Chain A
Amino acid sequence: MPAAQEHPQTRAPVWDDHRIEVILGNLLRFGVLLSAAVVLAGGCVYLSHHAHEKADYRIFRGEPSEYRTIPGVIQSLGHNPGRGRGLIQLGLLLLIATPIARVAFSIVGFALERDRMYVVFTLIVLAVLLYSLLGSGMGM
């Protein structure tokens, strides 16, 4: 039996990682529950206006521009007919933001552990995520 499995010097960072993860896990759960509540509220408003119309998703038309961008979604909340859909879309934006927030907080975690290499890795991941959410619609 190899007894060389004990690494007392790695104990402390392992525990630190775990503490960061518990915070991040709770953050994720909070984000999901918040976004689910907003989506549910939006769904109720949407159904109260459109319940008896015909559902048709056979043909792809693409969403109107107000449901494609962050400013568009926020603006649509001011219009009465679009409020339900706009609210759902806002909830979905919160949902997409949740893992992005997780990655952003990980940078703090790695910085506290003075792990520069992983601060850089996490910044790369964050840059890709922000590009997708903020930049990918610009070049159309």
Chain B
Amino acid sequence: MTILNFTAVVAIVSFVAGLLGSLTGLGGGVVLVPLLTILFHVDIRYAIGASLVSVIATSSGAAAAYVKEGFSNIRIGMFLEIATTFGALMGAFLATRIPTSALAAIFGAVLLYSAYLSRKPRPLDQRNLPPDPLATRLRMNGSFPDLEGERSYNVQHVPAGFSLMFGAGALSGLLGIGSGAVKVLAMDQAMRIPFKVSTTTSNFMIGVTAAASAGVYLSRGYVDPGLAMPVMLGVLAGSLLGSRILVKAETKSLRLVFSVVILVLGLQMLYKGLWGKI
């Protein structure tokens, strides 16, 4: 394939991944690396470098829209970013040490888990939880505008959430993804942050986390300009369009289709990784 054709096809695939990722809320980055490695036979290290860059773009591009809604909590975000950035740095260094087949296998496992999580009903927000002393000291409790007016919340289990976010950062640095799946575990299930707050706060965090491993990737030569260009521009355009068109009725079936895609890609990556075909 010539560079012109390759660039055009990768840009279109990235655009669709960004659009679907944003419409379904599952994130486009998670399908990019398997698509690039399986369909286009790109070395997984180049794929991870390009995907990581696109993760920064989508996170930062969506931030302005999220901020207007006034749900995100910058204190929770900044505190947890200590964990995610250290994790990301460790993950990125680890990625340069472990064999690519192991990277593919871990990627496959994360995809399978994401597919499972996307089919599970979201746990209901628990209301009126007692204030946790540590969360209170860290000034994490807050409130956000709800249908019935201002709703306040108390953050729980800070140490568990912090440790899980370290893991989320490590996965992000290792695989060049946003790690939305682990974030759900940490912020929604451990820390009991209301869904709207955790989604918008984590969007902020994903860009900072990815920036922490991007420097390592760049200096190790994983970021190829010829590949990162169509991936970054495609995903950014797709996700920006996705955040504009809210097809509420369609999202349910779209989500099902997208999680099947994630499942299939996960099985492929796991197979290729375990049988050393990558």
Binding site for B on A (CB under 8 A): 2, 5-7, 10, 14, 17-18, 20-22, 24-26, 28-29, 31-33, 35-36, 39-40, 42-43, 46-47, 50-55, 57-64, 67-69, 84-86, 88-89, 92-93, 95-96, 98-100, 102-103, 106, 109-110, 115, 117-118, 121-122, 124-125, 128-129, 131-134, 136-137, 140
Residues of B that sit less than 8 Å from A by CB = 1-7, 40-43, 45-46, 53, 56-57, 59-61, 63-68, 70, 72-75, 78-79, 81-82, 85-86, 88-89, 92-93, 128, 138-139, 142-143, 150-152, 204, 207-208, 210-216, 218-230, 232-233, 236
B225 with A117: CB separation less than 8 A: no
Given contacts A128-B85, A132-B214, contact A106 B229 (CB under 8 A): no
CB-CB under 8 A from B92, the residues of chain A are 132, 136
Nearest opposing residue in chain B for A23, CB measure:
B67
The CA-CA distance from A65 to B221 in the complex, in Å, is 8
Q: Which residues of B contact A58 (CB under 8 A)?
A: 41-43
CB atoms of B4 and A140 under 8 A apart: no
Q: Which of B45, B70, B210 has the most CB of A within 10 A?
A: B70
Q: Which of B2, B208, B220 contacts A55, CB < 8 Å? A: B2
- Asked whether A99 lies within 8 Å of B53 as measured between CB atoms, the reply is no
A121 x B3 contact (CB < 8 A): no
| Smallest CB gap from B65: residue in A | A25
How near does chain A come to B107, taking the closest CB pair, in angstroms?
Answer: 16
- The smallest beta-carbon distance between A106 and chain B, in angstroms, is 6
B215 close to A51 (CB less than 8 A): no
Question: When chains A and B are docked, how far (Å) is the Cα of A17 from the Cα of B142?
Answer: 11
Cross-chain contact A129 with B211 (CB below 8 angstroms): yes
Complex: A52 Cα to B2 Cα, angstroms = 5
Q: Pick the contact of B211 from A69, A100, A106 — CB < 8 Å?
A: A100
